[in-house]
Chains A and B, each alone.
Chain A
C-alpha cells in the first residue's frame, strides 16, 4: 500500500507538471523558431529561408526586406537537417503562411538523414498535434513514451526544455534572437579556418524529392541555395556534384573564398560576412525573381 500510494502521488505529480509545462510553453512568448511559427497564422511572408545554422547565422531578414521591399523570415535552425526543413515547410502550410518564395539551404546536408535534437526538443510541447506526432513517430523510437508518459518529454529534453527554459517562458523572457527576423549573428573569427566536405555525394535524397512534390502540390516555389564556405574548405567539388543533382541552385559556396575576414569559422559567416551575403542574395532575388 505504501509503495502504491507513493506511485500514485508520483503519477499525479508527473501529470500536473506535464500539464503546467505544456500550458506555459504553448502560451508564453515564443522563444524558438518552431514556437514562433506555430504562434503565427494566415500571415503573408514573401520570402522564407529554411536551413541549418548555415542559414540561421547567414541571412539577415531585415536586409532582405530593405532591398527587396518584401517581408522575409529566416527559419534556419542550428543543426537542422533536410527532414527538419521539410517539417518546417509543412508547418508553414499548416499555419497558412502565404509565401512567394521559399529558399532552402542545401549543401552536405544532402548526404544526411534524420533530424536535429534542437528541432525535436522544440516540438515536444506540441507532440499531440497530428503532423508533429507523425514526424516524431517516424524519427524517434521513443515516440510512445514521449507522447504518452507524463512529463517524460520534458525530462528527456531537459537541456532545452528543463526548468531554466520553463522559467524563462513563464516570465515571458525575450529570446536572444529577434524571431520575427530569425537571424542569429556570430562575431569574430576563429584562429584555424578549416573544413571538409564529403568526397562522395549520395545518389539521391528522398526528402528533397518529397519537398519538391509537396511544394508543387501546394503551389509553392522552392529555390535551393548553397551558402558560402571559406577558401580553406577541402572537397569543394562536392558542391559541383550537388549542382548536377539540384537544379537550379543558387550557388554561393565560393563567393568569399578569398575573404577570411567574413568567416566566424570555415563553415559559418560572422556578422560582417552575413551582412554582405544577405545583401548579395537580396540583390539576386531582385534581379532573378522580381523582374
Chain B
C-alpha cells in the first residue's frame, strides 16, 4: 500500500523503499550478515563500473577474478569451511592420525548460495558484454537483495531482473491478481502438501530400520512431494510477491514430476539453478561439444557441483552423482534433448508409454531424493537396501499415530490438479476460477499444517 500509494510516481523512492525493506527482511534473521551482503554488493557494483570504463582485456579479466574470488571465498568459507575441516580430519583418522576436531561454529548465512550466484551472473554478463553495468547503486543493491527471492530464489539473471529496477512501475491490477493466485497456490503446495508430507517423512526416515519396504517406498514418495511442494511453493510465493510490487521473476518449476526422462526433469526442476549452471559452467566447459569423454566429464561436473551447491555434505554429492549417472546414458544415446514439449499436449490422459516413462523418471528421482534426505550415504544405502529386501505389501502404523498410506489420497489429488493444469502456472484459471480459489482456501484451512509448520528446506542452502 505504501509502495503503490505514496511512491507511485517516483521510481527512485520505490527502489529505495524496496532496498530498505529487503535489508530489514534479511536483518530480521541476523543483522550481522547484512555486512556480508552489502560487501558483495559493493564489490560487484565497483567491478561492474570498472569493467565499463576499461577496455584492456587483461585488466577486465583481473576484475572478473576479483569478483569471482571474493564471492566464492565468502561462499566457501561460510558454507564449506566446517565440511572440509571435518572431512580432512576424518580422512586422516582413517590412517590412524588423530587431529583436534574442534572447528569454528560458523553459521550459514541464509540465502548466501542464491544471492552469490545472482551477483556472479551480473559480473560475468557485464564482463562478456551481454549487459550494461548498473547505472545506479540503489538499483543494483535492490537487485541483489530483492526480498521476495533473496533467501531461496529463483536465482535471477541481471539481464532479466536488473532492467526492471530502471523502468517506471505502476500498479497493474491483473498482475497483482495473478501474483495473489500464485501466492495462494504456493501456500497450498507448502502448507498442505509439503508440511503434511513432512510429518510422515520424519516418522519414516527416523525409523526406517524398523519399517517394511512398502512404508519406505511411501517415505521416498512423500519426501519427493515434500521437497517439491516446499521449494515450488516457496518459488510461487516469491514470484507472486514480486508481482505485487510490479516485478516479473522467472519461473522456477514446470511440473517436473511429469517428465518423461531425467533430462526433461532437469529442464523443469529448479530451472533458475539448472540454467545458471548450464550458462556459466557447462557451456564454458565446452557443453555438449567435443568427444564423448568430454561430454560425460562436463555432465558429471555439473551434477556434482550442483549437488555440492545444495550443501556441505557427502549425501548431496552422492545425490548429484546419482543424477549424473541417470543422465549420462541419455547423453550418450543423444536422447537428452528429446522431450522439449509438454507430455501429451493435446490429450487429457498420457499414453501407456508416457505414463510408464513418467513413473520411471519419478521413481528414479525419488530414489535419489532418499540420499538427499538421509543423514549419511550409509544411511541412504541402508534405506534403499531395506526398501527392496523387506518389501511387504501392507501399510504400517507410524509413531505419529497415522498409517503410512494415509497421505496418499492427498498426493493423488495434488497430482490430478497439477496434471489438469500443467499448461498453466497455477490452477486458478478458466470460468470456475473463483470457485477454485474458494476451494483452495477451504482446503488450506482444512488440510494446511499450522501447528507444526516446517521451515522451507531450501533456506538452509
Residues of chain A whose beta carbon lies under 8 Å from any beta carbon of chain B: 2, 6, 9-10, 13-14, 17, 151, 155-159, 162-164, 166
Contact = CB atoms under 8 A, between A and B. Distances in A.
A224 B448 CA distance: 42
Contacts of B447: 162-163
Contact of A10 (B402, B441, B448, B452): B441
Interface in B409-461: 437-438, 441-442, 445-452
B448 A158 contact: yes
A197 to B, nearest CB: 25
Given A9-B438, A159-B451, A159-B452, A2 B177 contact: yes
A14 B451 contact: no
29 contacts: A2-B173, A9-B438, A9-B441, A10-B441, A13-B438, A13-B441, A13-B442, A13-B445, A14-B445, A17-B442, A17-B446, A151-B445, A155-B448, A155-B450, A155-B451, A156-B450, A156-B451, A157-B451, A158-B448, A158-B449, A159-B449, A159-B451, A162-B446, A162-B447, A163-B446, A163-B447, A164-B402, A164-B406, A166-B446
Contacts of B438: 9, 13
A156 B452 CA distance: 9
Contacts of B445: 13-14, 17, 151, 155
A267 to B, nearest CB: 17
Nearest to B447: A163
A166 B177 CA distance: 33
A158 B441 contact: no
Interface string B389-412: 000000000000010001000000
A21 to B, nearest CB: 9
B403 to A, nearest CB: 11
Nearest to B449: A158
Nearest to A21: B446
A157 B177 CA distance: 31
Contact of B450 (A2, A13, A17, A158): A158
Nearest to A17: B445
Contacts of A13: 438, 441-442, 445
Nearest to A121: B451
Contacts of B177: 2
Contacts of B173: 2
Contacts of A158: 448-451
A15 B449 CA distance: 19
A162 B402 CA distance: 13
A159 B198 CA distance: 13
Contacts of A156: 450-451
Question: Top 9 nearest A-B pairs by Cβ distance?
Answer: A155-B450, A163-B446, A159-B451, A158-B451, A158-B450, A163-B447, A159-B452, A156-B451, A17-B445
A283 to B, nearest CB: 34
A2 B179 CA distance: 14
A167 B449 CA distance: 16
A20 to B, nearest CB: 10
A10 B402 CA distance: 30
Most buried by B among A17, A151, A164: A164
Nearest to A10: B441
Given A13-B442, A17-B442, A155-B450, 16 more contacts: A2-B173, A2-B177, A6-B437, A9-B438, A9-B441, A10-B441, A13-B441, A13-B445, A14-B445, A151-B445, A156-B451, A157-B451, A158-B448, A159-B452, A162-B446, A166-B446
B202 to A, nearest CB: 13
A164 B200 CA distance: 14
A31 to B, nearest CB: 12
Nearest to A167: B446
B409 to A, nearest CB: 11
Nearest to A160: B451
Contacts of A155: 445, 448, 450-451
Contacts of B448: 155, 158
Most buried by A among B173, B177, B437, B441: B441
A77 to B, nearest CB: 15
A155 B177 CA distance: 26
A13 B441 CA distance: 9
A164 B450 CA distance: 14
A156 B449 CA distance: 9
Most buried by A among B173, B445, B448: B445
B421 to A, nearest CB: 21
B444 to A, nearest CB: 10
A14 B442 CA distance: 8
Contacts of A163: 446-447
Most buried by B among A6, A158, A162, A164: A158
Contacts of A164: 402, 406
Contacts of A9: 438, 441
A262 B452 CA distance: 34
Interface string B166-191: 00000001000100000000000000
Contacts of B442: 13, 17
A38 B101 CA distance: 58
Interface in B98-148: none
A32 B114 CA distance: 47
A157 B448 CA distance: 11
A151 B448 CA distance: 13
Nearest to A151: B445
A159 B199 CA distance: 10
A96 to B, nearest CB: 33
A75 B173 CA distance: 57
Nearest to A3: B180
Contacts of A166: 446
B218 to A, nearest CB: 17
A10 B177 CA distance: 16
A155 B446 CA distance: 8
A26 B406 CA distance: 25
Interface in B12-26: none
Most buried by A among B402, B406, B446: B446
Nearest to B446: A163
Nearest to B443: A163
